[in-house]
Structure 1
């Protein structure tokens, strides 16, 4: 089981090509501040998560996927019945969040690994967020925005992978039309 100090530290804001990321994927600690901020339809902001103790997973043709520790979560999150399996990290559990009593829940846009494989044991119970809520903003009562340091991240196409795209991440990324067969 790798310890935190044995895991490579990600470069801070270096230009990176997703085609130079490894396969199988690699786990890195990140020195960046990671935040997920909810903005209601009335413009009120709520911090969902905020940390400088996160990890990122790098895999060929994908932007990084970030994992935030449970201590960074500032609002209640409930586990759903959805599960998926990753050949590298193990079985993922999914979660739902509701940020106001009058809004719809945002379901299965947050995931974690309760029992990850040995290589990914440092992200046990850490939470990963899709870069978007994936639902109608009006029905949800708002939307969340994800940040790496002060940069709002872009959304990986295809809505299957949860990568966060920042201005330093380059290369054709899997997820959009015509990329599933790579």
Structure 2
């Protein structure tokens, strides 16, 4: 499949087509929150984001910043050619449980060591995820875990027909 035509970013925006491959990890200056089951399960100033060509950023939050009991081991695993082997977590907040809705790389590949004690969460199953107070939109398609904010433009991998990008 042919690469799509990137949307031209406005001032203050980034194009996901300018993100690198292999991905880059960078600090997030804004506060990041997640709400589930009517409760804030994490509110952190220690997030990082992973930037990869065609994907909205994936936000990784310190495991230690989640409220106790918010993350529980879940079956399943996957492998990323860049970051290594991932494990999954069920996410709990209030009476809500979202099975397999978070993941991390406990022993990441070289260059991604900072992710060892961080966890990424799919935005779609949560009540609300925010970056700097802005409510995020989940990356299309349900497979990838990117968070779309007004500061990024696509088109984004995950839309129908994007598997070959």
Which of the pair has the greater relative contact order for Cα pairs under 8 Å at 6+ separation? 2
- Residues 126-145 of structure 1: pairs in structure 2 closer than 5 A: 126-133=118-125, 143-145=126-128
Q: Which residue pairs with 2:90 in the alignment?
A: 96
Q: Which residue pairs with 1:153 in the alignment?
A: 136
Q: Which residue pairs with 2:58 in the alignment?
A: 65
Q: Which residue pairs with 1:164 in the alignment?
A: 147
TM value normalised by structure 1: 0.80
Higher strand share: 2
Q: Which of 17, 20, 23 does residue 22 from structure 1 map onto?
A: 20
Looking at structure 2, the residues matched to 112 and 58 of structure 1 have their Cα atoms a distance apart, in angstroms, of 16
SS in 1 for 2:117: coil
**Structure 2 stretches lacking a partner, 5+ long:** 1-10
Matched, 1:53 2:51: no
What is the Cα deviation at residue 100 of structure 1?
4.1
Q: Output one character per residue of 1:74-128: Cα deviation in whole Å (capped at 9) or x when no partner.
A: 1411111210000100001000133345x5x311110011100120101102110
The number of equivalent residue pairs is 154
SS in 2 for 1:96: strand
Higher helix share: 1
TM value normalised by structure 2: 0.88
SS in 1 for 2:127: strand
Is contact 2:88-2:104 (8 Å) kept? yes
What is the Cα deviation at residue 171 of structure 1?
1.8
Looking at structure 2, the residues matched to 88 and 95 of structure 1 have their Cα atoms a distance apart, in angstroms, of 20
